[in-house]
Amino acid sequence: MALSRRSLLRGCAGVGAAGATIWPLTASAARFRGGLLSDPFTLGVASGDPEPDGFVLWTRLAPTPLAEDGLGGMPNTNILVEWELAVDDRCHGVVRRGTVIARPELAHAVHIELYDLQPGREYFYRFRADGYISPIGRTRTAPEPWATVSALSMSFTSCHYFEHGYFTAYRHLAADEPDLVLHLGDYVYEYPAGTYPLPGGNPRDHEGPETRTLANYRQRYAQYKTDPDLQAAHAVAPWAVVFDDHEVENNWADEVPERPDPDFLARRAAAFQAYFENLPLRRSSIPRGIDMQLYRRLLWGRLATFHLLDTRQYRDDQVCGDGYKDCPAALDTARSITGAEQEKWLLDGFHSSTARWDVLAQQVFFAQRDSNQGPERVVSMDAWDGYAASRDRITRAWVEAGVRNPVVLTGDVHAHWAAELKLDYADPTSRTVGTELACSSITSNGDGVDVVGGNHPWAAWNPHLRFYNNQRGYVRTTFTPDSLTADFQVVPYVTQPGAPLHTRATFVIEDQVPRLHQIADHPTPGSPSRRATADLGAATMRQETARP
């Protein structure tokens, strides 16, 4: 598939190549010899958390990425890394250069936080270590907080289980050249090879055992990051990431593991450390033991505010044994999925927001999804349905604060969904007060099927559930002052490389009208499809409660 000029980002990769500037060695780099025997830039480059004056640049040195000790074949010494920032993709207009030390204590990952850059503009960057030069990344600063912004293109993704397929959707996402990418969790999965085989067998295998130690997690991230499509998506735009469960283990809740495990806190600390090391996060997210500050806010001028939530680290444990249950305990008003402190932070953010669009970028399904047509309310204990009072407090708070356009973004469920959010799900006449867009997985659960008409059987008694599709892909959004357009992007298969991209459905949300208007519905050509019969509901529950 063709990539545009900028997505390839090869313009100044070769020092002295035609049209490129020579990158002079700094004095310290000229004296430095790291003794690296092969290219250490096997994990690509990334940038993240854009502010109006800067962002984070990231890379990690790993000449042998799959090394069992998680150290990527690096010597146990500090390595000098030079970096360069330019305003053009041929590196003529270099605006900043510097050096940073890659340390073995951080698996030779570097996180460079830049300040004093110009707001709302594109930049290009690269790294050099021991004579080797990295691929070039494209990134951008956010607009100034008071700026009137005419458009933002943002794509969001989740759940790329390496064993379940090729990350082709990321190659397509890169070709879109969005301004911003959000990743809503399950960046890696913890399982040893073959734990969850697809019906026709998995196309790829994990290296190493179930991730429990820092070495295991580092090796797992390195394996995922060798994927060229994932690297292309990181190289094209700044990402803002939040973890969900599989970055630690399935369905963990604060200090409670899925199954009894006396070493869980050590596991959680190791998982957080590796998450930080491998993603373009700011210093404010450096883990301290078992704690990591992940929830934060990003502003895109006056157009959009992104409230990035952490619904794992502070949540009460799932009740009634997790899974889909009719569970009165889930309605306990004392329960919280965010913890009190984060909830207050979010509510304060609603009151102070001046954004046209307030986006809750988070992990698990927000709207009620009652899987049972009868009087029993059978819902997912791991999603906001298992923390109904928490959802109710937050929903009422945005209504009371007069948030102009609340939109919830969701990962986790490995299927595309779109929903309208109700003030009270028990009352069918209740006001619609927001919208939810859930992205499918990039690969998790394999090829999937198109669903005729984009209907889910549960929508018959949950009429606020407006769209469902069980193929793999991502959601591409365009924000303007007047509307938010969401394209549900799908690939017809992931167990083979090279799938084409297809826009399965498009919804528009108009300013101050919290409803979903479907403007396109395109069945995927040549793709297997099924009707929304009752057994699709059972399959959905199986898909969500089977661990990947």
Short-list 233, 250, 246, CA closest to 474: 233
Candidate segments 4-12, 182-190, 257-265, 480-488, binder of Fe ion by CB under 5 A: 182-190
Positions 368 through 387 that interact with Fe ion (CB under 5 A): none
The distance of closest approach from Cβ of residue 413 to Fe ion in the complex, given in angstroms and rounded to an integer, is 8
Short-list 82, 87, 125, CA closest to 102: 82
Put residue 201 in one of left, alpha, beta given phi > 0 → left and psi -120 to 50 → alpha: left
Binding-residue total with Fe ion (CB under 5 A): 3
Question: Are the C-beta atoms of 514 and 423 separated by less than 8 Å?
Answer: no
Q: Which is nearer to Fe ion, 139 or 445 (CB)?
A: 445
The distance of closest approach from Cβ of residue 259 to Fe ion in the complex, given in angstroms and rounded to an integer, is 18
DSSP state of 400: H
Candidate segments 39-47, 68-76, 156-164, 169-177, binder of Fe ion by CB under 5 A: 156-164
Q: Which is nearer to Fe ion, 186 or 436 (CB)?
A: 186
**Alpha helix stretches (DSSP H) within 353-406:** 388-400
Candidate segments 140-148, 180-188, 252-260, 333-341, binder of Fe ion by CB under 5 A: 180-188
Q: Which is nearer to Fe ion, 159 or 248 (CB)?
A: 159
d(CA 474, CA 230): 13
Positions 406 through 445 that interact with Fe ion (CB under 5 A): 444
Considering only 82, 186, 247, 436, the residue that binds Fe ion (CB under 5 A) is 186
Q: Does 159 bind Fe ion (CB under 5 A)?
A: yes
Candidate segments 183-191, 275-283, 323-331, 345-353, binder of Fe ion by CB under 5 A: 183-191
If you write DSSP's letter for every residue of 62-125 in order, what string do you get?
-SSTT-TTSSTT--SS-EEEEEEEESSTTS-SEEEEEEEEE-GGGTTEEEEE--SPPTT-EEEE
Q: Which is nearer to Fe ion, 189 or 493 (CB)?
A: 189
What 3-state class would DSSP assign to 537? helix
Output helix, strand, coil percentages for the chain, rounded to the nearest 5: 20, 30, 50
Q: Does 247 bind Fe ion (CB under 5 A)?
A: no
Q: Which is nearer to Fe ion, 186 or 343 (CB)?
A: 186
Positions 29 through 48 that interact with Fe ion (CB under 5 A): none
User: Which string of x and - marks every residue 442-461 that binds Fe ion (by CB under 5 A)?
Assistant: --x-----------------
Residue with tokens 């399950």: 186
| N- to C-terminal Cα separation, the chain | 29
Positions 322 through 341 that interact with Fe ion (CB under 5 A): none
Map 459-522 to HEC letters.
HHCCCCEEEEEEEEEEEEEEECCCEEEEEEEEECCCCCCCCCCEEEEEEEEECCEEEEEEEEEC
Q: Which is nearer to Fe ion, 159 or 437 (CB)?
A: 159
The distance of closest approach from Cβ of residue 323 to Fe ion in the complex, given in angstroms and rounded to an integer, is 16
Q: Which is nearer to Fe ion, 133 or 198 (CB)?
A: 198
Candidate segments 146-154, 167-175, 184-192, 322-330, binder of Fe ion by CB under 5 A: 184-192
Q: Does 388 bind Fe ion (CB under 5 A)?
A: no
The distance of closest approach from Cβ of residue 414 to Fe ion in the complex, given in angstroms and rounded to an integer, is 6
Residue with tokens 């990425």: 65
d(CA 479, CA 362): 18
Q: Which is nearer to Fe ion, 246 or 456 (CB)?
A: 246
The distance of closest approach from Cβ of residue 161 to Fe ion in the complex, given in angstroms and rounded to an integer, is 7
The distance of closest approach from Cβ of residue 189 to Fe ion in the complex, given in angstroms and rounded to an integer, is 7
If you write DSSP's letter for every residue of 252-307 in order, what string do you get?
-BTTB-SS--TTHHHHHHHHHHHHHHHS---GGG--BTTB----EEEEETTTEEEE
Residues that bind Fe ion (CB under 5 A): 159, 186, 444
